[in-house]
Amino acid sequence: MLTWIVENMATIIISVLLMIVVAAAIASMIRSKGKGKSSCGCGCAGCAMNGACHPKKDFPEVPKHNRK
């Protein structure tokens, strides 16, 4: 078992580093989504699907002081 680990140490190290990078990218996407940022980083104005993700509301916004 120990010889297998030693023979494949480079593959193991690279695999662990790739898993860390992927986990960091996923965590960053989750944090951005929680903060309300878009996944592409450029906003919805230039997106071809800008009306599909966030459809416009048909009713006016209620002022904060009138909310219950």
Closest CA to 40 of 21, 57, 23, 53: 53
Residue 68 lies in a domain: no
Query: Positive or negative, the Cα torsion across 30, 36, 37, 40?
Result: positive
Residue 45 lies in a domain: yes
pTM of the model: 0.54
What pLDDT does 31 receive? 87
Question: How many folded domains does the chain comprise?
Answer: 1
What pLDDT does 47 receive? 72
How far is the C-alpha of 11 from the C-alpha of 39, rounded, in Å? Answer: 31
Which SS3 state, helix, strand or coil, does residue 20 take? helix
Residue 67 lies in a domain: no
Segments forming the whole domain that contains residue 22: 2-57
- What kind and span of H or E run contains 25? helix 9-34
What pLDDT does 29 receive? 86
